[in-house]
Structure 1
Amino acid sequence: MCTTYIATEVIKAIQNKGFDVIGYPRLVRLNPNIPWKTRGNGAIAIQFGKGGGKIKKIGDVDGTIYSFSTKISDGEIEEIKEEVDSIISSLAEMDDPKTHPGVVFFKRKPPYFIYKKGVKEILSLKEVKKVIATMDASFLSYKKGRGLIGATAAVAWHPRDKTYEVLTYRNGGERWVNEESVKEMDRECPHTFDNYDYENRHIQIMPHSPCPILYGIRGDDVEELKKAMNMVSSSKVKRWMLFETNQGTDEHLKKRKVEEVRPYESVIVKGIVWEEPRTIEGGHVIFSIKNEKEIECAAYEPTKNFRKIVQKLVRGDEVVVYGGVRKEPLTINLEKIDVCKLAKVYKKRENPLCKRCGKHMKSIGKGKGYRCEKCGKKAREEEAVIEKVEREIKEGWYEVPVVARRHLAKPLKRMGIT
């Protein structure tokens, strides 16, 4: 069962118990490269207690869900804990080998490094349990309890950059979303992103898994997200909820030199194209960059026409690559690329003319120069007539298409680059 759906049940239970949701519930994505992660590697954080200040409508789960801007007093953990245990036990897919739920009830925030390590590196269950014990936090753990890692990291998140997502849920029946309504919404709601892939004609807001989510719209403006939701024509929405998220922020990335790149991280690496792009079996495009040391970069088949951009790179181009690191072979899986400076490319237009005979000379062999077949006069390699080649790629930013974009990857749209 989808983690966010379980979160809506928990939020409903919190409100039914007489407590308030403080701020927005948070959907926090963690390191996308972890081999044992769940599909989206997301975790939820919900602050509850007795609320005050401004009231906002943040969802509808069998009735309106409100949140408050400030917390007047803490909620009683034990009153909620039993309810949460019941919800998870009944809804979590415990038979799934990758499902190992965990819930932590913190009275104060865990240290920020927990989130930072969870989104950029490998955060161990041992480290998290130590923090939980130090902070005397109550928790629920199921099976191997790996969910405690995400839960703790989600609470530890201090947003430096953030986005929002409105998630809608279906009524258990057919899932359908009208394509034209999504395109219209995309045009009319400029602060949303990753709604539709025009090149590949793909509705990105609609998942294709059997989960209860109908669609989810991401953006920077909460009110615009509500407008966007009302513009989408779809099968019946049973419930909806607004989440504050770290999606589309690039918070998973860290700057690295080539020699510092480690498996399962997401990196930003500057270098010069060394081995020119080649296409391997499966349609994947591979090239290497060098900055003292060399590393391969890949545009895999799911990145579609992004591969055509990569294929236009040549040795000597200066680039900055962004992406997750595969372990074997050590490869950067490209999310986007900044082509900083293009190398100059020249091609031979014609062989040199013999000054005696006025005829074009013939090549003696690669790198050996030229010889006139009539009189035998020789010319150096550089005496051939060459011309500069107009490159088919321009300096600037390029990103994978919407259909291949990761949850955490910041779209160029959010970077102010079009």
Structure 2
Amino acid sequence: MWIGVDDTDSLHGGCTTFVCYRIVERVIEEGYDIIGYPRLVRLNPNIPWKTRGNGAISLCVGRGRGRKVIIGGNEKEKFYGFLEGKGDAEISFLMKIVSEIIEEMAFEDANTNPGFVICKRKPPPSIYWKGVRGILTFEEIKKLLDELGALYGTYGNGRGIIGATASVSWRPRDRTYEIITYRYKEKWGTNRFVDDETTIAMDKECRSTFDNYDYDNKVNRIVPNSPCPVLYGIRGEKPEELIMAKEIVRSEPYLGWMIFETNQGTDDHLQKKKIKEIKPFESVIVRGTVTEEPYTIPGGHVFFKLSDSTGSITCAAFEPTKRFRNIVRGLKEGDVVEVYGGVHEMPFTINLEKLRIIKLKDVMIKLENPVCKLCGKHMKSAGKGKGYRCMKCGSRADESEARFRKMDRKLREGFYEVPVCARRHLSKPLKRLTKTVFN
């Protein structure tokens, strides 16, 4: 039986993954098994009404068989998930557990609208892809759940069932994992202690992990900055290495921990588009030519214009992207690039997550005007595009006869990405994308 939950948090606290932790704990206590890993599924990061990371959870509950793996634990025991099994569980029993935990744990906020789904049949994968790349409506999800014979519960405006359903419908093409530790309740909202030095040591030793520490900006990225129950979360490609990573990091004591299978760091939100096809709230990959050189506005935000055969759009590197803006500032008119990012509605711009420089235009710097062959004197410009003229004898020369040198662009063709401190949950780091990283 599949369970999906979403929208139990707010900007002021709460955490949907902690709701999942509590559900797993309770389900195991009651004698059921977890099939596979619990799942943390991030959805469209551009949705205006999202709370924080727009993440929903899902898990399969039933009777396991065969090999099992560690998926979490608390002070008393470890939790296991079976890699095979049947999703056989009493649906009314699960409904009772899930609703009780949500009502106990969901953060009360005007913008928090929890929802949960319990179903035997998974929704089609198209629901996930629309949820991570577009906009799903409450009406279409409710209609689908009724057709599937699913049970669901809603609170507030009920929007949480959208993410809950999309999470259950996810069938990974690519996947990563995250191990999350949870604080004792009396610690919620207080300053966290997670040691930077051992976080850096973990980052260097556990090579399949990513986005742990921003070395340029000296930011420990495994630590959240909201007053939620999470102490820290480490992301990586190998669940077994995440357990080792957790043991390296020195921190305050924690209540428990859990490993989630996730779509984080996969670029699932991105889709290739021509400029005329782009819509607000999408995340896109667009190839084009720089047709207006970068400029900086007060606040440090950098913009340039990108064009293809169908139109033009403004691309933005905002101040939080830090040194990445220097890469953008180095672009010149005529450069061919591919941009990756989310689309803002007002103003209509692409907020850059990654940049691929495909071809750099040669930029020539004039060193001196032509020398008159008759007089031996430097000629003067006759006007833009009109060549040169000797002021003494009137001889003329073409623009090309001036002496030039090729500018050292400093940039190289290849990929560039925003720093770890500005990276979105879904953005695939270059560490996963390619072995050649340019920062």
Q: TM-score range, shorter-chain basis?
A: over 0.9
SS across alignment from 1:208: coil
1:79 to 78, 93, 96: 93
3-state SS of 2:316 partner: strand
The offset of 1:186, in angstroms, is 0.5
Larger mean CA deviation between 399-408 and 289-298 belongs to 289-298
Aligned-pair Cα RMSD in Å: 1.1
The C-alpha deviation readout for 1:259-294, integer Å capped at 9, x for no partner, is 111100000001011111000121111001111211
How many angstroms apart in 2 are the aligned matches of 1:80 and 1:268? 41
Shift of 1:376: 2.8
Verify: 1:398 aligned to 2:411, yes or no.
no
Structure 1 counterpart of 2:120, from 107, 113, 119: 107
The question of 1:56 aligning with 2:73 is answered: no
Q: Do the aligned residues in 2 keep the contact of 1:165 with 1:217 (CA within 8 Å)?
A: yes
Asked if the contact 1:27–1:42 (Cα under 8 Å) also holds between the matched residues in 2, the reply is yes
Distance 2:110 2:389 in 1: 71
Q: Which runs of 4+ in 1 moved over 4 A?
A: none
C-alpha contact 2:286 2:340 (8 A) present in aligned 1: yes
2:143 aligns with one of 116, 130, 133:
130
* Whole-Å separation in 1 of the counterparts to 2:254 and 2:50: 29
3-state SS of paired residue (2:244): helix
Output the CA distance in 2 between the equivalents of 1:372 and 1:231: 74
The equivalent of 2:48 in structure 1 is 35
Q: 2:84 aligned with 1:70, yes or no?
A: yes
Q: Give, in whole Å, the separation in 1 of the partners of 2:39 and 2:336.
A: 38
Once the two structures are superposed, the pairs formed by residues 163-182 of structure 1 within 5 Å of their partners are: 163-171=176-184, 172-173=186-187, 174-182=191-199
CA–CA separation in structure 1 for the residues paired with 2:87 and 2:421 = 44
Residues 1:349 and 2:362 aligned together: no
Return the TM-score normalized by structure 1. Answer: 0.98
| 8 A contact 1:22–1:71 mirrored in 2 | yes
Q: What is the alpha-carbon distance in structure 1 between the residues aligned to residue 354 and residue 100 of structure 2?
A: 43
Q: Deviations over 1:357-407 (max 9, x none)?
A: 101112233333322222233323332222221212111100000000000
Distance 1:108 1:325 in 2: 34
DSSP-derived class of the 1:82 partner: helix
| Cα distance in structure 1, aligned partners of 2:412 and 2:64 | 53
Q: 2:308 aligns with which of 284, 291, 304?
A: 291
Distance of 1:12 and 1:142 partners within structure 2:
23
CA distance in 2, matches of 1:351, 1:72: 81
Contact between 1:363 and 1:371, CA under 8 Å: does it hold in 2?
Answer: yes
Residue pair 1:8, 1:61 contacting (<8 A) in 2 also = no
What does residue 5 of structure 2 align with? none
Deviations 1:23-65 (A, max 9, x none): 0000000000000012100000010011111122211145321
Structure 1 residue 207: Cα displacement? 0.6
Residue among 332, 336, 348 paired with 1:318? 336
Matched with 1:327 is 345
Partner of residue 199 from structure 1, selected from 205, 216, 221:
216
2:234 to 217, 229, 240: 217
1:255-274 to structure 2, matched below 5 A, reads: 255-274=272-291
Residue identity matched to 1:71: G
User: What's 1:234 paired with?
Assistant: 251
Q: 1:181 to 1:105 in 2, by over 3 A?
A: same
Distance in 1 between residues matched to 2:323 and 2:43, nearest whole Å: 27
Q: Given that residues 60 and 87 in structure 2 are in contact (C-alpha distance below 8 angstroms), is that contact kept between their aligned partners in structure 1?
A: no
Aligned position for 1:92: 106
- Secondary structure in structure 1 of the residue aligned to 2:286: strand
Show structure 2 runs of 5+ residues with no match.
1-13
SS of the aligned residue for 2:382 comes to strand
Q: Percent identity?
A: 54
CA distance in structure 1 between the aligned counterparts of 2:218 and 2:87, rounded to whole angstroms: 49
1:73 to partner: Cα distance: 5.2
Does the 8 A contact of 1:207 with 1:213 survive in 2? Answer: yes
- Kept in 2, the 8 Å contact 1:28–1:246? The answer is yes
Taking structure 2 as the reference length, what is the TM-score of the superposition? 0.93
Aligned-partner SS, 2:358: strand
Q: What is the rounded CA distance, in whole Å, between the counterparts of 1:166 and 1:281 in structure 2?
A: 39
Selected match of 1:362 from 359, 370, 380: 380
**Which residues of structure 1 form unaligned runs of 5+?**
none
